[in-house]
Amino acid sequence: MSIRVLRPGLLSTLQDYGRHGLQHVGLCPGGAMDPIALSLANALVGNDDGEAALEITVIGPELAFEQDTLVAVCGAEFKGGFPHNRPVLAPAGSRFNVGRAVRGARAYLAVAGGFAVEPVLGSRSTYLPGRFGGLEGRALKHGDVLPLRDPAAASRFSKLKKTSEGSVRWSAPPLTLADREPILVHVIEGQHFGSFDANAQRGFFDAVWKIAPESNRMGFRLAGPALVRTQPEEILSGPTCLGTVQVPTNGTPIALMADHQTTGGYPRIAEIVSADVPRLAQLAPGGSVHFARCDLGMAAELRHHMKQRLETALRGIAWNYGQ
């Protein structure tokens, strides 16, 4: 029992919450670029939190369901006509063309019962640079077959409230999509902020940065004014984190994303707070972002606020499953 891939889309990979605690051998946690949307998608099909889903990027795949499958798509909005942010019972023999993203860059397609792929180093996430995890360590391609672990889990649909024609008359809120751009992203000053000249320090916060085309799951290159340092000497390579913004010698900042490097030798001008990383992940190349300074206290507030909104949404979904 499985889902057939008729067209793979631009970049479709299986992702869960990633592999933690392996940074000492240089392996970043990886996992979903927008873990908030992943969490909602899993909840909508009644999965345990942390199940792997299909991360769909900008241009979605076309899929054929070989059996009745309970599916949910959360995160970016695609114009394929498939209902978003709600559980949908895709009947056996049906096809689903996800289409192109119209708002946001990444959506998560979860299936009830999860995908039957073996965990590697404790996770089902696809780690593209290392070519392991997920489906053979790579993005989907034409003709792939995505095996389901528990096809009978589609029967969960019968527990749902307010159903109508294979879906429901309610939806989960999109928590990470922006209504307009540039989006506002909060940062803490990085270790080397002070080594940049006054123009660069001001410019970093004044500029509207565009996500450059050569951005990927490892990092977003930010097009804008070149950032110049007053002390141009090289720095000792040091640790990095999801959301670290480093500036190579060419002056173009790079925001480190899910498949980021665990250390880097470029000066770190800023650190994006954890609450804002999933929103940044929803920007496609060409999308724009504006940075605002904050401190650890505000970072905690933003984190707790996002956590509360997610928990409220998850409680709402659980209630609709009669829990």
Partner 1 sequence: MARSTLRPKAIVPLGDCAVYIEFSDKLDLEVNAVVQRLALAVHARSLPWIRGVVPALGGLALYFDPDHPAAHGDALQAAANVVQECLKESLAGRDEVLRTVEVPVCYDPEFAPDIEEVAKKVELSVDEVAARHAAGDYRVLMIGFAPGHAYMGGLDRKLGVPRRATPRALVAPGAVAIANEQTVVYPYAISGGWNVIGRTPLTVFDASREEPSLFAPGDRVRFHAISAEEFVRMQQ
282 belongs to the binding site for partner 1 (CB under 8 A):
no
- Beta-carbon contacts of residue 149 (< 8 Å; ≥ 6 apart): 113, 114, 115, 116
188 belongs to the binding site for partner 1 (CB under 8 A):
yes
Taking a C-beta distance cutoff of 8 angstroms, is the pair 198, 256 a contact? no
Q: How far is the CB of 160 from partner 1 (least distance, A)?
A: 31
Helix (H, G, I), strand (E, B) or coil at 45: coil
Contacts 24+ apart (CB under 8 A), 292-299: 292/184, 292/185, 292/186, 292/187, 292/205, 293/186, 293/187, 293/188, 293/189, 293/205, 294/186, 294/187, 294/188, 295/188, 296/188, 298/186, 298/273, 299/186, 299/188, 299/273, 299/274, 299/275
147 belongs to the binding site for partner 1 (CB under 8 A):
no
132 belongs to the binding site for partner 1 (CB under 8 A):
yes
242 belongs to the binding site for partner 1 (CB under 8 A):
yes
The region, left, alpha or beta by phi > 0 then psi within -120 to 50, assigned to residue 97 is beta
Q: How far is the CB of 302 from partner 1 (least distance, A)?
A: 9
Out of 130, 173, 182, 225, name the contact with partner 1 by CB under 8 A: 130
Helix (H, G, I), strand (E, B) or coil at 126: coil
234 belongs to the binding site for partner 1 (CB under 8 A):
yes
Q: How far is the CB of 267 from partner 1 (least distance, A)?
A: 12
How many amino acids of this chain bind partner 1 (CB under 8 A)?
Answer: 51
265 belongs to the binding site for partner 1 (CB under 8 A):
yes
Out of 120, 212, 284, 314, name the contact with partner 1 by CB under 8 A: 120
Q: How far is the CB of 46 from partner 1 (least distance, A)?
A: 26
273 belongs to the binding site for partner 1 (CB under 8 A):
yes
Token code pair at residue 118: 């073996």
Residues lying near partner 1 in the complex (CB under 8 A) are found at: 20-27, 120-121, 127, 129-133, 188, 191, 214, 218, 234-244, 248-250, 261-266, 268, 271-274, 296, 299-300, 303-304, 307
